[in-house]
Amino acid sequence: MDTHITEAAAPTPQDYKSEVKPIWCPGCGDYSVLAAITRAFASMGLEKHNTAVVSGIGCSSRIPAYTSVYGFHGVHGRALPVAAGLKLARPELTVVVFGGDGDGFSIGGNHFLHACRRNVDLTYVVMDNQVYGMTKGQASPTTEANWCESKLTPEGTGVNPIQPVQLALACGANFVARGFSGDPNGVAKLIVEAVKHPGFSVVHVMSPCVTFRPEQKGWKSTVHPYGREPTDDPALAMRAAMEDDGFGLGIFLAGNRRPFAPAGKPVATLDQLEREFAV
Amino acid sequence: MTVTKIANGATSVGLFLAHAVELESEAAERYDELADSMEAHNNREVGELFHKLAGYSRQHRDEVKRVAAEYGPLPKVEPWEFQWDNTAESPEAAAFENAHYLMTAHHALKMALICEIQGQKYYAAVAAETKDPTVAKLAGEFAEEEGGHVELVRQWLQRYPAPPEGWDDDPDPPNYSE
């Protein structure tokens, strides 16, 4: 076991939890993702005043309320542009974005494509339960074509679900990984790797909705290690992701694209900002 | 004898004690999460019970820390570096997916019983597999203590028998599709 012997020191994961208690359903995978986030932040020793979490709307987007770092609970599907703006204005901050499959791939789908393409130095953790849970169980962009449990789609959606890992790779994300909420320590590791990797990092976390998709409890025995070493070649990563059954866990791509940086000097004062808009 | 990952994770007294602290810390965190989710769904009795179980886990963690203080500072081990054989998390972390918003004290205690049995098995396995005599001694003591917890939870369970069938019936269930 490769372990460095040093004095165990603060901060602890508990330090990154707020006083607000989650209102997720008992058994929801998002609890474990929250545990993973706080463990990852503690592992990196992130300074609270230099860390921001940004989210959209949905069950998983409640994360900023449950953490003690700076947070912004934004508009549905718009977490990524908000986070990109924050990171570009304050590059010294660690900015991590949280949301679900509906927020990220439907309402915010267009923003996701361009966030991958633009490659701002952010980490995006998508908690995917393949359903709109907060609005009582409608099919989401990652729901299987033949899922018939919603009254809106009694015969299934009839369309193939989005594959988040492949989509992120195709659009140019610089780091792409998949985790499972049933392994919060494994997810914590992926988040640490994602935050440390330069550019736009996507961590796709399969997080069961035990209320509307109780069959997802079975994911615990379906997931498996992805089984390959991470590559820096998007083509190899894409091939591997397409050969995977959708339940492989690990890092698919740790690429070497240079993160986006705006041309010119950053605007640092209000005067400078006003001059930008002067006619 | 096949050596499992358990022995690989607890190769020294410090690493073993770090595992023991983590085992109880993760158990406490999970019980707290369960308690919070029960309270959010107005299942106050079970919420209180889970908070109580979390308190016991923290108490045990502090006891392990007191023992550990005799052996010097604990090594820093990242959450994903702990090795629990075939499980991804502490053997005493309750299986979250088995929670139900209408669950009773009986169900909560059954979850706790499984956790305590898994904890006992973990320590027994370390005691059996380690080549370090101090780790073997400590693991044996901890296994015995966990055995006491197993008995205690079994006694509690007698006070909270299984509820009649239909305990999870809800005329207005949250998963009613709209």
CA-based nearest residue to A212, from A127, A148, A125: A148
For residue A103, the domain's CATH number is 3.40.50.970
d(CA A17, CA A24): 15
Question: Does A31 contact B103 at a Cβ distance shorter than 8 Å?
Answer: no
Provide Rg for chain B, Cα atoms: 18
Does residue A7 form part of some domain? no
Contact in structure between B152 and B29 (CB atoms under 8 Å): no
Residues A161-182 pLDDT 10s: 999 999 999 999 999 999 999 9
Return the SS3 of A176: strand
Q: What are phi and psi of A20, to 5 degrees?
A: -80, 130
Question: Contact, A29 vs A184, CB < 8 A?
Answer: no
**Count of domains observed in chain A:** 1
- In this prediction the ipTM stands at 0.90
pLDDT of B64: 95
Q: Does B161 touch chain A (CB under 8 A)?
A: no
Predicted local distance difference test score (pLDDT) of residue B178: 59
* Structural domains counted in chain B: 1
pLDDT at B173 over 90: no
Residue A6 falls within a domain, yes or no?
no
For the segment A148-165, the average pLDDT, to the nearest whole number, is 94
- For B129, the token pair is 């597999």
Side chain identity at residue A215, one-letter code:
E
Residue tagged 């974005």 (tokens): A97
> Are the C-beta atoms of A131 and A140 separated by less than 8 Å?
yes
- Edge-to-edge, what's the strand order for the sheet holding A175-180? A70-73, A51-55, A94-100, A123-128, A201-206, A175-180, A248-254, A224-225
- Whether A77 is covered by a domain: the verdict is yes
Give me B145's structure tokens. 């203590």
The CA-CA-CA angle for residues A121, A126, A132, to 5°, reads: 145
Q: What is the pLDDT of residues B46-94, one digit of tens each?
A: 999 999 999 999 999 999 999 999 999 999 999 999 998 777 889 999 9
CA atoms within 13 A on the CB side of A5: 11
- Domain extent, residue A171, equals 24-276
Question: Shortest Cα distance from A22 to chain B (angstroms)?
Answer: 7
pLDDT tens digits, residue range A238-264? Answer: 999 999 999 999 999 999 999 998 887
Strand partners, A257: none
In this prediction, residues B157-177 reach a mean pLDDT of: 90
A245 near A257, Cβ under 8 Å?
no
| Rounded Cα–Cα distance for residues B99 and B24 (Å) | 20
* CB atoms near residue B31 (< 10 Å): 27
Give chain A's mean pLDDT: 93
What SS3 class is residue B72? coil
| Tens digits of residue pLDDT in A81-96 | 999 999 999 999 999 9
In DSSP terms, which residues pair with A124 in a beta bridge?
A97, A202
Query: Is some CB atom of chain A closer than 8 A to the CB atom of B78?
Result: yes
Percent helix, strand, coil in chain B, to 5, is 65, 0, 35
Residues on chain A touching B97 (C-beta within 8 angstroms): 27, 182, 208, 210, 217, 220
Query: Which of B44, B84, B175 is the best substitution to test chain A (most A C-beta atoms within 10 A)?
Result: B175
CATH classification at residue B82: 1.20.1260.10
Q: Which of A101, A100, A104, A42 is nearest to A67 (CA)?
A: A42
Whether residue B44 is predicted with pLDDT greater than 80 in this model: the reply is yes
What confidence score (pLDDT) does residue A23 get? 92
Interchain pair A21, B39: CB under 8 A? yes
Structure-token pair, residue B136: 């073997």
3-state secondary structure A223-235: CEECCCCCECCHH
Specify if A3 maps to a domain: no
A97: how many CB neighbours lie within 10 A of its CB?
A: 31
Contacts of A136 in chain B (CB under 8 A): 174-178
If DSSP codes are grouped into helix, strand and coil, which group holds residue B35? helix
| Radius of gyration, CA atoms only, chain A | 19
Question: Identity (one letter) of the amino acid at B112?
Answer: A
Is A214 domain-assigned?
A: yes
Inter-chain CB proximity B174 and A149 less than 8 Å: no
Residues 6 or more apart whose Cβ sits within 8 Å of residue A218? none
On whether residue A243 sits in a domain, the answer given is yes
Please give the residue range of the domain that contains residue B74.
Answer: 5-94+104-159
Tokens 């090795």 belong to residue? B83
Residues of A with CB below 8 A from B84's CB?
none
Q: What is the pLDDT of residue B1?
A: 40
- Residues in B touching A21 (Cβ below 8 Å): 36, 39-40
Instruction: Note if the bond before A64 is cis, omega within 30 degrees.
Output: no
B73 touches chain A (CB under 8 A): yes
pLDDT over 70 (residue A206): yes
Per CB-CB distance under 8 Å, the chain A contacts of B103 are 26
Structural element, H or E, at residue A202 = strand A201-206
Kind of pairing between the strands at A248-254 and A175-180:
antiparallel
Cα angle, residue A155 at apex, residues A153 and A156 outer, rounded to 5°: 60
Average of per-residue pLDDT across A219-244:
94
pLDDT tens string B125-149: 999 999 999 999 999 999 999 999 9
Closest Cα partner for A78 from A51, A49, A115, A31? A115
Burial state string for A207-218 with b = 16 or more CB within 10 A and e = fewer than 16: bbbbbbbeebbe
